A and B are shown apart, each in its own frame.
Chain A
């Protein structure tokens, strides 16, 4: 139906360029995924909890993410930062993230400073600045609370990269569209956890379904003091950190 309509359009000579554009909805794999599923996006709300006291900076999450999602070299959907703070000087932490912490960190024997690791990823904000600025609806907040990108619709204008306060987005050097953490949407909607959580040896990061009353996240949030990154940005982040230091930005 749609195809014939568009052929008529073409025949009439109306905006040939527009007519020539392939309809992304015709993608064959879409039908396959739909057939699989009893998954109802309205029944879930995804987020993550990160316990700073459990992170050992091994880099397993960064490597697993890169493998699972074919993340291009030198770009990161998740990464680890190492903080080093002297006394009360929260304004000037020494921060490093060699190759995103992908291969771990050189061990330190410094005992006079406070040191710890901070894993980072997209915060899947509920008031996402990146979604707000996308001019065409190529990036969006899914019904189950995951900020995703429509690769076949993204212009590559990079406005969302500018708007993200956390540096979680980049332009894929081959696709020339924006790329970011999908919270392993292809996994979590099939009952698996994310690649980073799967690979984390200490359970420092744990996937959370905030709409599932049986999810341990509710106990975690009740029993711990938690914080989100850059709370003053008021993005309603859904990545909750336990034992997050005030120096982290």
Chain B
């Protein structure tokens, strides 16, 4: 029995090397895992706030309406009531934060109108469409329609 122990004792050495490695790993792991990991689930909890902190570029309809009362009222009564300002004028959060720093774009009418209203059989039937080549050729849409409330004026 004693001889057997003596002749197996060398096996302790590789086992000790493995255990030391494992221990080192566990110690390092305890220090290096991000502190908020596991706060909500198997991920870094702090990332939620990091993603939230990304900059907003589209200010949102309510923000536009806060200042541009007249335009909002006109638009609200017409066919474009559901179209948000920034759908045509582009992202304007910088303008909302500091109106002087940047002016939202004033789109060129006809091309913008065609982007939605050009005749296309793939578009739903209820949606008003025109063939811009046949429908008053050579004229600008805005000569007859106001962009904010496009019924004929």
- Which residues on A are within 8 Å of B, measured CB to CB? 2, 5-6, 9, 14-15, 18-19, 21, 23-25, 27, 29-34, 36-37, 39, 41, 53-60, 64, 67-69, 82, 84, 104-105, 107-111, 115-117, 137-143, 148, 150, 152-153, 182, 185-187, 189-190, 192-193, 195, 198-203
Contacts and interface: CB of A to CB of B under 8 A. Distances in A.
11 contacts: A14-B28, A29-B49, A56-B120, A57-B122, A60-B87, A60-B115, A67-B91, A108-B122, A139-B43, A143-B40, A186-B56
B81 to A, nearest CB: 11
Contacts of B24: 14
Interface stretch (B7-15, B31-39, B65-73, B135-143): B31-39
B35 A64 contact: no
Interface string B41-84: 11110111111111111101100000000000000000010111
B interface residue count range (under 10 / 10 to 19 / 20 to 34 / 35 or more): 35 or more
Contact of B60 (A34, A140, A193): A193
A190 B86 CA distance: 18
B91 A24 contact: no
Contact of A24 (B34, B51, B58, B119): B34
B91 A64 contact: yes
Contacts of B56: 68, 186-187, 190, 192
B53 A68 contact: no
A87 to B, nearest CB: 16
A141 B41 CA distance: 8
A187 B62 CA distance: 13
Contacts of A192: 56, 58, 60
Nearest to B125: A53
B134 to A, nearest CB: 12
Contact of B34 (A25, A64, A107, A116): A25
Contacts of B104: none
Nearest to B30: A5
A54 B49 CA distance: 34
Nearest to B123: A56
B102 interface: no
A109 B50 contact: no
Given A9-B31, A105-B122, A198-B58, A153 B44 contact: yes
A198 B82 CA distance: 10
A200 B88 CA distance: 10
A141 B54 CA distance: 18
A25 B32 contact: no
B67 to A, nearest CB: 17
Given A25-B35, A138-B43, A186 B55 contact: yes
B113 to A, nearest CB: 11
Given A23-B34, A192-B60, A195-B57, 10 more contacts: A29-B50, A30-B46, A54-B124, A57-B120, A137-B42, A143-B41, A185-B52, A187-B56, A189-B52, A198-B86
Contacts of B58: 64, 67-68, 187, 192, 195, 198-199
Kindly list the 10 A-B residue pairs having the minimum CB-CB distance in the complex, ordered from nearest: A115-B122, A33-B53, A140-B43, A107-B120, A186-B54, A137-B42, A29-B53, A33-B49, A150-B47, A137-B43
Contacts of A104: 115
Contact of B36 (A25, A37, A54): A25
B121 interface: yes
B25 to A, nearest CB: 9
B15 to A, nearest CB: 22
